[in-house]
Amino acid sequence: MHSDKLDNQVLTQLARAMDASSACVMVIGVPTGDVLYRNDAALQFYSDQRKVDCSSLTNKVANSAFDSVPNELTDAEITEYLFAWQTALEGGQMPSPSSGVTLSPAQFGSTLLAEHFSLGEQMVSGAQIGSVEAVINLGASCYKWGALSASPMYGEDGSVIANLIIWHDITAQKHKERVLQQAADYDPLTNVFSRQKIMSLAHRCVEHSKVSGSSIVCLMLDIDNFKSINDQYGHAVGDVVLQTFAATLSKNIRSSDVFGRIGGEEFLLIAPDTDLTEGVGFAEKLRQVIETMKISAVDVELKISTSIGVSLLDVNNEDDSLEDLMLSADQSLYRAKHLGRNRVCVSRAAIQSSAVAPIAMYN
């Protein structure tokens, strides 16, 4: 084996051993990134760029069977992966990139999205890479998942002259996991976050608020007289009311807000970076939206209203928790019901911890 390149005989022997392998195998030169060898599985991996509709996986649970789940990644999956990769890098869980190495996507036709976070640089520099999962960009907005590893190949003088990269296509497996996760994360009736998911996200919001010192508002919303609607019109109409209520609120909240169903006709909304004045104004806006909408269901047209309890996280109180925040909002919701429904009530604790005059806010 020469010090500056792989001997043709070595590549020929490698091809004999790897051509029939089900794993994808590629050898790239170091530090050029030139592709010196790709087996049949790798060629097939890169050539299979079927265009499919991924909309069913973007915002809701896919109804298709696992074997018909799209082979292309959704934007949400890509974003989630890149965020996780960046977090891993910042946490020191990945080896740092070699200095002075620049990877050009044109050097081997297709490139890893992860190159932006050093994986591609590591491969071209000849680094040893343990088993990692990565999103692979096939071009033309087509992506796949791969479980890959890389091992350096050395020349006679002991220097790294190439990198042997082996990976398996795990796209279908990732989509199966995604479908199962979607099923756990979303309420099947209303298609908003499930109780389990919104509680998890709400805990993160509270933790972030305490670290950043930014205020956070909690809204507990309940459909007024929902039991009477079920009793009078039946559960089919009740389901439409829940779905319409959730869909209408989803259209009227901010992208930063966290909204989900916590059970029955009760919903939770967490509004990060929001003070009490903004939170109460926001709650009143939502109340008015619900009050003015009309619902048509099973030959029945009806109007509904909602009662809303509002609480504010006391960032100056280290002991203040999500549970405290929700309890306070729930107590305010109960008061709104007691005062006649279809109104917004604010917790006394929230008023006392803010600089806002309470008279105009506590109904």
pLDDT in tens, 323-342: 999 999 999 999 999 999 99
Across 49-88, b (16+ Cβ under 10 Å) vs e yields beeeebebbeeebbeeeeeebbbbbbeebeeebeeebeee
Domain containing 268: what range?
A: 186-352
pLDDT of residue 346: 94
Three-state SS for 168? strand
How buried is residue 92: exposed, middle or buried, by Cβ count under 10 Å (0-12/13-18/19+)? exposed
Task: Specify whether the CB–CB gap between 312 and 279 falls below 8 A.
Answer: yes
If asked whether residues 143 and 248 sit together in one domain, one would say no
If asked whether residues 63 and 171 sit together in one domain, one would say yes
Count other C-beta atoms under 10 Å from residue 295's C-beta: 17
Count other C-beta atoms under 10 Å from residue 45's C-beta: 23
Rounded-to-integer distance, Cα 207 and Cα 201, Å = 10
The residue among 159, 179, 199 that closes a domain is 179
Number of domains in the chain: 2
If asked whether residues 229 and 97 sit together in one domain, one would say no
- Residue 337: closest CA among 360, 357, 363: 363
Q: Is residue 126 left, alpha or beta, with left meaning phi > 0 and alpha meaning psi from -120 to 50?
A: left
Task: Specify whether the CB–CB gap between 221 and 249 falls below 8 A.
Answer: yes
* Catalytic (active-site) positions: 265
The CATH number of residue 133's host domain is: 3.30.450.20
Rounded-to-integer distance, Cα 330 and Cα 327, Å = 5
Rounded-to-integer distance, Cα 216 and Cα 318, Å = 14
Give backbone dihedrals phi and psi of 112, rounded to 5 degrees, phi first.
-85, 135
If asked whether residues 68 and 169 sit together in one domain, one would say yes
What residues of the chain score a pLDDT lower than 50?
Answer: 1-4, 50-73, 85, 89, 92-117, 355-363
Pairing of strands 344-346, 306-312: parallel
Rounded-to-integer distance, Cα 20 and Cα 27, Å = 16
If asked whether residues 59 and 123 sit together in one domain, one would say yes
Pairing of strands 295-297, 142-154: unpaired
Rounded-to-integer distance, Cα 323 and Cα 298, Å = 38
Half-sphere exposure of 277 (CA within 13 A, CB side): 4
The residue among 123, 158, 179 that closes a domain is 179
pLDDT of residue 96: 38
If asked whether residues 171 and 240 sit together in one domain, one would say no
pLDDT of residue 330: 95
The residue among 179, 199, 222 that closes a domain is 179
Give backbone dihedrals phi and psi of 73, rounded to 5 degrees, phi first.
-85, 150
If asked whether residues 87 and 128 sit together in one domain, one would say yes
pTM, full prediction:
0.60
Three-state SS for 167? strand
Bridge partners (DSSP) of residue 309 are 220, 345
| 323 within domain boundaries | yes
The CATH number of residue 237's host domain is: 3.30.70.270
Task: Specify whether the CB–CB gap between 196 and 304 falls below 8 A.
Answer: no
If asked whether residues 69 and 123 sit together in one domain, one would say yes
* Edge-first strand listing for the sheet containing 129-139: 35-38, 24-29, 160-169, 142-154, 129-139, 111-112
If asked whether residues 169 and 196 sit together in one domain, one would say no
